[in-house]
Structure 1
């Protein structure tokens, strides 16, 4: 297919709620099901035209939905992650953060080699398998501390009582964010990942506030004469440029918080929706690693790649040639993870499945650096929940569950459950 033919489809051809015209100029995020149940929509788009132009959050983008195309595009150096390569239309969108408040979002996810290579190397040592093993006892301690006050009640909200608090505490301790500042961070991170009609005003404001908070935090670390045994302290002691430390801090805080929270929440819900799988996991706890990978594939925390890519020249993706000149390319991890060309019966949730090759953490040089930490937190968190919470059931009508209004992420806002508490060391 030529670029001219593909350009005929400028907006998502799926009918919007209440309209029957398949050519309605409707933003993808306004399509029925995009927020709470995006997979049917994405499957239709993938089947009809796997590389196509759509409008996404007010920005014209080229949406890529096939697994193999996503993997290929993720490694193509002609697609830049730097929004300064975007065309004027794309860069005019405040949420792209190409011009406003760039300090806080200028991080390794939004740049290309060699800058990306250098920035990633600054923190890669913090997320090695050996370092994650060192963190496991502390993750277990935090898990126990969070569950201790709610377990005797026999009920909890998995999201607010546990799934959000566990990764926020862990990544804050890794970075060196004091306890009194974590609520501020959680609020600002929420603004960054959510979408609303007021995004044009809220997001730049939140970026400024996040920048100011991090500047103050770094200033306090510099002025305290005590040595800092945390990541931010080590970056400062190595005399890295403050703007780079701020950008890195912002990325690690957001990526290390919201995604893992969504993974844990979605994992609990998936098991409750599939009681035979929950029973299997209880009876065969050695399957936990496979279960985590299947949750990541089947209902991963990120449905769209968290950054756009920009064409630096004409790029052939699938059957389409995407023009150069800063066209925006959006990779749908959620669609790729349910591509029947890669995974048999992709809509079936099966913790025994070999889910290797899923795209939940991206692919190529921008593959999520914190993936081992997120999987460790989810593994420890889910295992402990199952050990301490017998007869776990959903405490609300499934139809009443709500999903966050996020461009890129997919996660519940609340997940109330009831259970029979199991004393430490006892068998459920």
Structure 2
């Protein structure tokens, strides 16, 4: 039996209430997705965690039966990335990328990220108020990712516009997402060619040169990976910074405690990701064979969405799941995935969020919302959760 997805506006405004009802009703539900086609939504922590690492669930869209939810479609040159691959191709490409995208490289970026955060806050400090999305949470990760990839400064405004068009397409401009894809498809090969001619101290240059024996990344793989690093690295981090700050403003006692003990910020980032992470419907899979969850059978080839947002609020796994607990002891959230597909950029997302939130709390001790809480608006997207704006005063 197929039912309608919970009301779109209610799911965007308060996904956790909708997911609580779905978890209570059963482990998986066949619903009508946002494109009008059926999709299975898996809601409970134990099932989501197990299926994230289950080799019977493929990322390859070739295994999807016709007539099922399709999600976002990309041309082949942008689609050959880790989010759409199974082993052995996934294993090969992740191994090559990991040689360039190391924790050491990320940690070496800390001084630069800190300087960037301070500079962005310097620019608004005298105004006494700001939109923390437009003025802080968005420009910080797009600048970091462009620095990481070696994108010239002149191209960076275009990158942000393209990514925004894909994250939350404007209903009044239905062609914007298509134009953004076409622009990136044209830009990345030129950037890769420039890096071949003039190598730099950046991740894209490293990915061009990285080898494992006689293996190296193909042109489509390089283009797709550059796109994925830009898109995922910007989208997820801007949304996580915004929801983290809002969560603290909603929990003044926890905000005061974190200000009093800034060393706790690293643990707090993990709780921000669990409490209100950027993934809403989230991780898509295609079963290679029928999969059963507590008596519910999901047929092979149908589209499955593993809801990280629901799993991270499951009361069977987390005590008081709807309360923000920055020093939570029952860790193990799934906001960054699990298994072989665990987010390769997780160290960078953690670093940026830690620096962004920690610096904001230190610099602006009187931080407060500048609009009524009920007036905040969320991106009109069922794929990713994030604030359109976060007006604050300080």
Q: TM-score normalised to the size of structure 2?
A: 0.93
Alignment of 1:302 with 2:279, yes or no, is yes
SS in 2 for 1:417: strand
Q: Which has the larger radius of gyration?
A: 1
Distance 1:76 1:270, change over 3 A: same
Return the match for 1:113 from 87, 99, 108: 87
Verify the 8 A CA contact 1:83 1:96 in the aligned structure 2: no
Distance 1:173 1:57, change over 3 A: same
The answer for unaligned runs of 5 or more in structure 1 is 1-7, 13-26, 420-428
Alignment of 1:237 with 2:209, yes or no, is yes
CA RMSD of aligned residues (A): 1.8
Distance 1:248 1:200, change over 3 A: same
Alignment of 1:45 with 2:22, yes or no, is yes
Alignment-derived partner of residue 122 in structure 2: 148
- Within 5 Å, give how 1:24-423 maps onto structure 2: 27-28=5-6, 30-58=7-35, 59-90=37-68, 93=70, 95-97=71-73, 101-194=75-168, 201-222=175-196, 224=197, 226-238=198-210, 240-305=217-282, 307-324=283-300, 326-419=301-394
1:243-270 per-residue CA deviation (whole Å, 9 max, x = no partner) reads 1101001111111101111111111111
1:403-427 per-residue CA deviation (whole Å, 9 max, x = no partner) reads 11122211111111111xxxxxxxx
Distance 1:319 1:180, change over 3 A: farther
Distance 1:359 1:76, change over 3 A: same
Q: Which runs of 4+ in 1 moved over 6 A?
A: none
Q: 1:104 Cα shift?
A: 0.8
Verify the 8 A CA contact 1:272 1:394 in the aligned structure 2: yes
Verify the 8 A CA contact 1:39 1:334 in the aligned structure 2: yes
Q: How many residues align?
A: 388
Q: 1:219 Cα shift?
A: 2.7
Q: TM-score normalised to the size of structure 1?
A: 0.86
Q: 1:128 Cα shift?
A: 3.0
In structure 1, distance between residues paired with 2:241 and 2:9: 25
Verify the 8 A CA contact 2:100 2:206 in the aligned structure 1: no
Verify the 8 A CA contact 2:379 2:387 in the aligned structure 1: yes
1:330-361 per-residue CA deviation (whole Å, 9 max, x = no partner) reads 01111000000000111111212125211111
